[in-house]
Amino acid sequence: MACLVRIPGGKKTKGNYNKSGNYYIKLWLPNERRSWHIPCKTKNKREAEQLFRQVKMSERQVSARLEADLRESIEERLGLKPKLTLESTIQEFLKERSAITEKSTIDSYKLSLKDLTDVFSPTTLITNLKHSQYAMLTSYLKSSYKENTKWLRLRSIRAYFNWAVKRKLIKEKPFDMVIPKLKSVKVPLTPEEMKAIYSQVTDPVIYATFKCAEVTGIRLSDLFRTRLEGEYLFVNSKKSKKGYGPVPFAKKYHEYYQIMIAANYHVDRISRAFLKARRKVGWIPDDAGKTFHSFRHTFALYMKKETGDLQTVCFLLGHDTISVTHDHYSNYGDQYLKDMFKNYKFKS
């Protein structure tokens, strides 16, 4: 088991150590009966915690592999190996991945693999799938989903087959799945979705942070790297060495800004709060791509509607070139934006 520790630095004076030493990750090695101290090379607790999370993830991955190998070895020796149906192997796949993968990804796997069992039946043996049946699967997905969603479903199914090959349940993947690189889809929040999400927020700091992101379009990683001057925000962006601004910011939002800056919540906490609020709404699908970053896309599209000028949108978002803005937002037509923002307005 791993834990984060801080080893005192400096000289011992008056019975006390200087407690300003670097952080270490203490990992117990059972075979060697000793602890291994992995240096984080930092005195910053937040940086050390990031490294600690990576070690914990590696620890869970190794543990999951050991558990799977042990089970497989025992079943093989005792002749207890079950029939490799889609249903049983999918359950095993999801169980293993749940220990090392985000819940949102697991949910996406579940949706995709349900499609697989809808086409071929849960009792079908994974070893009986043939290449000639691939057309059945793609035809079903094509008739059920849009093009981008179809490829997302196939990508999850491919992950399942890759796992089955790695676990030696099958010798090779039954389908030759060539999946194109998916173009990143910029998914905004509709006014109705924003209203519903805000209604689920009880923490005033989270509410204030959401509001600042909504009316400025500033990335979450940059929100705490801003300075307020009059009715404008200036951004010292991580993405751009030069930073950008000014971004108009009306006085009525200044109180939200002060609450957000004073609390200084970690960005992971804010992202999780958005995810929790979105799920509590109940009718926004997990695979719809709505994240905290959707505030930025909503702002961009609203500004495109209001100004009709992508150059202005480019400036407000801090993009290095207008080609980036054009690639992200030019596909949204004027009528679509008018309908989307029919009952939505803020003064920035």
Q: Stretch 8-29: mean pLDDT, rounded? A: 66
pLDDT at 273: 95
Helix (H, G, I), strand (E, B) or coil at 59: helix
Give the Å distances, CA to CA, from 172 to 157, 208, 216.
Answer: 14, 52, 50
Task: Report d(CA 146, CA 132) in Å as an integer.
Answer: 23
- Per the listing, tokens 């697989």 go with 116
Alpha helix (H) residue ranges in 217-266: 220-223, 254-263
Per-domain residue ranges of the chain: 2-59, 82-166, 191-340
CB neighbour class for 169 (10 Å; exposed up to 12, middle 13-18, buried from 19): middle
Domain 82-166 CATH superfamily: Tyrosine recombinase, N-terminal domain (1.10.150.130)
Output DSSP code: residue 286: G
- Per the listing, tokens 């697991």 go with 106
| 311-320 residue pLDDT tens | 999 999 998 8
Above 70 in pLDDT, residue 46?
yes
Residue 240: pLDDT band by 50, 70, 90 thresholds? low
- Per the listing, tokens 């196939």 go with 154
Above 80 in pLDDT, residue 269?
yes
Task: Report d(CA 69, CA 328) in Å as an integer.
Answer: 45
| 286-317 residue pLDDT tens | 777 889 999 999 999 999 998 989 999 999 99
Fold of the 191-340 domain:
hpI Integrase; Chain A (1.10.443)
With 0.95 as the threshold, say if the pTM is over it.
no
Give the Å distances, CA to CA, from 55 to 2, 41, 225.
Answer: 8, 15, 28
Above 50 in pLDDT, residue 348?
no
Q: Hey, which residues does 244 pair with through a beta bridge? A: 235
Are the C-beta atoms of residues 24 and 7 closer than 8 Å to each other?
yes
- High-pLDDT (> 70) share of the chain, %: 90
Phi, psi of 346 (to 5 degrees): -140, 155
Phi, psi of 298 (to 5 degrees): -65, -45
245 token code pair: 């601004």
Are the C-beta atoms of residues 42 and 23 closer than 8 Å to each other?
yes
pLDDT at 315: 92
pLDDT at 243: 85
Residue 230: pLDDT band by 50, 70, 90 thresholds? very high
Phi, psi of 26 (to 5 degrees): -90, 120
Residues 6+ apart with CB under 8 A from 133: 120, 174, 175
| Residues 305, 235, 190: CA angle, nearest 5 degrees | 30
- High-pLDDT (> 90) share of the chain, %: 41
Q: Which of 233, 197, 207 is nearest to 317 (CA)?
A: 233
